Amino acid sequence: MKKYFAINRIMYLFPLTLTFMCYTGAAQIKPALIPEPVSLVQGKGTFVIDNHTSLIISSGSPELAALGNRSNEWINTLAGVTLPVKNKTTASEHSISLLLNPALNNLGNDEGYELSITEHEVKLQARKTAGIFYGLQTLRQLLSLSGEANKQQHSLPVVEIVDYPRLKWRGLMLDVSRHFFSKDFVKKYIDDMARYKFNVFHWHLTDDQGWRIEIKSLPHLTEVGAWRVPRTGQWWSYAPPQKNEKATYGGYYTQQDIKEIIAYATERHITIVPEIDVPGHSLAAIASYPYLSATGYIYQVNPGSKFYNIDDNTLNPADERVYTFLDKVFTEVAALFPGDYIHIGGDECTKYFWQQSAVVQDFMKQQGIKTEHELQSYFIKRVEKILKKKKKKLIGWNEILEGGLAPEATVMSWQGMQGGMEAAKQGHQVIFTPSSNTYLDLYQGDPQLEPDTYDMLRLQTAYQWNPVPAGIDSTLVLGAQGNLWSEAVPTGLHAEYMTWPRSLALSEVFWSLPAKQSWTNFQKKLEPQFKTLDAAQINYSKAAFDVLATAKLDEQKQLLVSLSTDIDNLNIYYTLDNTNPDTSSIRYTGTPVAIPKGIYQIRAQTFKGNAAAGKLLIVPREELEKRAK
């Protein structure tokens, strides 16, 4: 989430009217693939997978052989057969062939692939194994979708597909600091990402509420910083740690755990980008080593109680010991993670404690640093030099623009698009992740129906944005990502609920060409994809099918309520008499509903035909009046 300053609920957005169309499963219905391929030409008939089908891997590449084994596992799961692996096929047998073909010249990049399915043969070819991997994800979806459509799980539709991604960086971020998620869950999260062609896992490993990565040269980081006092309830309302209260909630990943997760991700063509959040968001580190802050006070790891500008969570940029500390941290982080980038945060750094510190203020005078923003820039530039010595590139949130960008920094823009656009104008690479379109910790539907958080991101809003804005050099747009902050996400199941299906939308935004993106068509693909998510045991949300209520007061102070859904072609029925609505109740026609005095609640629900499509929404008058302000 990040946002100490976004605690107040920001309601209540815009009425949305969207469309839902059911996938019928008829043989010639276009496959409901997500993300949408560059080109898909559908033929007639199917390729049947049975005991006479062979898997052909003609290359001697160990990577290709490993992908063949994994594809066999997927085919066995979906079709119930294990295919014999051969290095060539005969003219008479059915076969699925995986072929590396460096000469392919119609693919946009090395992640592209061609997939040809006839009634007798499946041929998947690509320049590199990454393309084979993504083609296999398409094959996997086709097999799953075909099984649902035909009530069998062993056939593929006849199609010709040419496909490649729009963006190089297609990421999801998981915050494991506010709540710790197990190694097994992180692996499952990565596996689910791979299904939909994400290729970057941004791992938010440190923050005020926990330090989650073992640093062997600094053992207190996990002995102290990985643990906090247990709390349950609403984030920021928790009581602070009490005297002599034991810190028992938390956990961390050993370096062996991290190596295992990196290997797992690498097999799935996902690069892990670790984040060590500095100089702000550092209370867990300061609790471990109090000399790191300008105050030098002894603090405890924050459990989710209010502390901003109360406890000093910022590293002291005037103390050389801080840079020695960071050198040790980044030495071990850089040795663990093979990717090019390390994320250093740089966001929401209070300047209050620097302003109060005589030592920091004297340092600024000595260095000719005029403002605290320039002081943070000095700090970030020092960190960039540390990373460069370890052959790593620095990424920071858009606040690293303040006071002047580090020379080679990449900017991840979360406060809208403007920070990234400004960085691109300065010649820096950028990754767009605006909170209004990509923050997966926000409400998906009406707050009366959803777990508590602080703002809203509907499915349609996640889908309908452009991560490559006009007016900048598009070659500097490295990519985009969705972010799941976990202040209000305490479990793995809830993390999945918040991630999907909004990440289905993001996967198409990041992968598919703009001309291939259609909100109307995307809605048609949801129901069959939900069945795929069910089969994969992914806990997703159906909030897009629920009613969202917004309210306002007219000139006579009459309370008016508007009802909407993310999904089109659903009927909304409502009542004001405290009974549950059904299809005999009043149908909402788009005209705001006047709520007379004495009426203390509205109840509303979506229906498709006579069947309820979403959950029952009950909004008390008191809540409606809050929304009208």
Residues noted as catalytic = 207, 281, 348
CB count within 10 Å of CB 625 equals 13
Separation of alpha carbons 25 and 28, rounded Å: 8
User: What percent of the chain is helix, strand and coil (3-state, nearest 5)?
Assistant: 30, 25, 45
Q: Is residue 56 within 8 Å of 96, Cβ to Cβ?
A: yes
CA distance 182 to 65: 30
Q: How many CB atoms lie within 10 A of CB 399?
A: 20
Concatenate the DSSP letters of all residues of 79-130 into one string. HS--PPEESS--TTSEEEEEEE-TT--SSSSTT-EEEEE-SSEEEEEESSHH
CA torsion, ordered 441, 442, 446, 449, to nearest 10 deg: 20
Residue 115: phi and psi, rounded to 5, are -130, 120
Q: How far apart are the first and last CA of the chain?
A: 25
Tell me which amino acid residue 480 is: A
Contact 401, 418 (CB under 8 A): no
Of the candidates 437, 433, 485, 429, the residue with the CA atom closest to the CA atom of residue 458: 437
Residue 242 exposure: Cα atoms within 13 Å on the Cβ side? 5
Dihedral sign from CA coordinates of 124, 130, 135, 140: positive
Question: What does the DSSP 8-state code read for residue 242?
Answer: P
239: DSSP letter: P
Report phi then psi at 214, rounded to 5.
Answer: -65, 125
Sequence letter at residue 186: V
Contact 492, 463 (CB under 8 A): no
Inter-residue contact 493 to 539 (CB < 8 Å): yes
Query: How far is the C-alpha of 124 from the C-alpha of 126, rounded, in Å?
Result: 7
| The two structure tokens encoding residue 227 | 């643990």
Cβ atoms within 10 Å, residue 59:
16
Tokens of residue 20, six digits: 């839902």
Question: Considering only CA atoms, which of 162, 176, 154 is closest in space to residue 94?
Answer: 154
Q: Provide the 10 A C-beta neighbour count for residue 420.
A: 31
Residue with tokens 């103390």: 319
What single string gives the DSSP state of each residue in 562-578? Answer: EEE-SSTT-EEEEESSS
H or E, element range at 560: strand 559-564
Which residue is it, tokens 């062609």? Answer: 197
Phi, psi of 2, rounded to the nearest 5 degrees: 85, -25
**Cβ atoms within 10 Å of 380's Cβ, excluding its own:** 27
